[in-house]
A = this chain, B = another copy of it.
Amino acid sequence: MTEYPTALGASTPERITLLGEDLAEDVMGRVSFGELAFRLATQRRPTPGEVRVFEAVLAALADHGFTPTAIVTRLTYLSAPDSIQGALAAGLLGGGSRFLGVTEDCGRFLHEVLTGVQLPPGEAGWDELALKTVTAQREAGKFVPGLGHHVHKDGDPRTRRLFEIAREEDLFGPHLTLFEAIGRVHPRVLGKTLPLNGAGACGAALADLGLPLELLRGFALLARTAGLIGQLAEELRSPVANEIFLSVDGNTVSVPPDPDGGSDG
């Protein structure tokens, strides 16, 4: 008979356990939600400093206003108000490569660069590694994940603050160090100065916390779930989804079909 081992939730008639602890006695009322999410993903107890960095990342990613994912959640709620789960799920489905993927891409990228490399002893060494990294990306015709922002062109306030918090908690590890060095040296290669964006800094910080790289996007989605609930709460107070729909519908122009427009087959 197949068995499915798990350290997550389990229960007997008298007791519920989660990660080996008594849910009612040891978790409820004692463990913050941010710490719990960290524990669930790592199966270990984080330090208070780790929780602080982790929650700072979640705060940075929770809501960015009327993003596509926020619009999608509001429109889906307009269309199917009976299914809150559908409205949230629809919004999360926009959490792909373009709008929420930078966190994961940046964490993975930094990790790959660091794999098998002897960590440099000082700032000059990190600058050298960063220089090699940016140059290699440029020669391959690729962007450096986490570099550049369409609004915060002179610096993303989340990045500076996250660096500060990580330093305060003594959790400024190799991923953040390499990311910071990339911020210093890239103008020498690219010929212009780009900001280190907050989503990328979040990826570096999560990687330094030792969280599974495959799930970095998952944490962005967890943060965004809280943000999308905020969007729905505001939609309930002062609805705009129908106005958004009408503003699109009202500017539609019918054109003839274009049989030659589609195929590149």
Contacts and interface: CB of A to CB of B under 8 A. Distances in A.
Interface string A96-123: 1111110000000001000000000000
A80 B112 CA distance: 23
A197 to B, nearest CB: 12
A40 B6 contact: no
A163 to B, nearest CB: 11
- Copies of this chain in its oligomeric complex: 4
A141 interface: no
Contacts of A81: 96-98
B265 A207 contact: yes
Interface residues of A, number: 144
Contacts of A65: 6, 8-11, 249, 252
Interface stretch (A132-140, A185-193, A231-239): A231-239
Given A1-B251, A2-B251, A81-B97, A226 B43 contact: no
A80 B99 contact: yes
A24 B159 CA distance: 9
A68 interface: yes
A43 to B, nearest CB: 4
Interface in A82-97: 82-90, 92-97
A160 B222 CA distance: 28
A209 to B, nearest CB: 7
Contacts of A152: 11, 13-14, 16
21 contacts: A3-B253, A8-B63, A18-B62, A18-B63, A20-B256, A22-B157, A28-B59, A28-B60, A29-B56, A29-B164, A37-B229, A40-B229, A43-B233, A43-B262, A68-B76, A71-B75, A75-B94, A83-B93, A84-B95, A89-B90, A212-B264
Given A16-B152, A67-B79, A244-B248, 19 more contacts: A8-B230, A11-B151, A14-B152, A18-B63, A20-B257, A33-B34, A40-B233, A41-B230, A43-B261, A71-B75, A78-B98, A79-B94, A79-B98, A80-B99, A85-B93, A175-B265, A210-B263, A212-B233, A218-B232
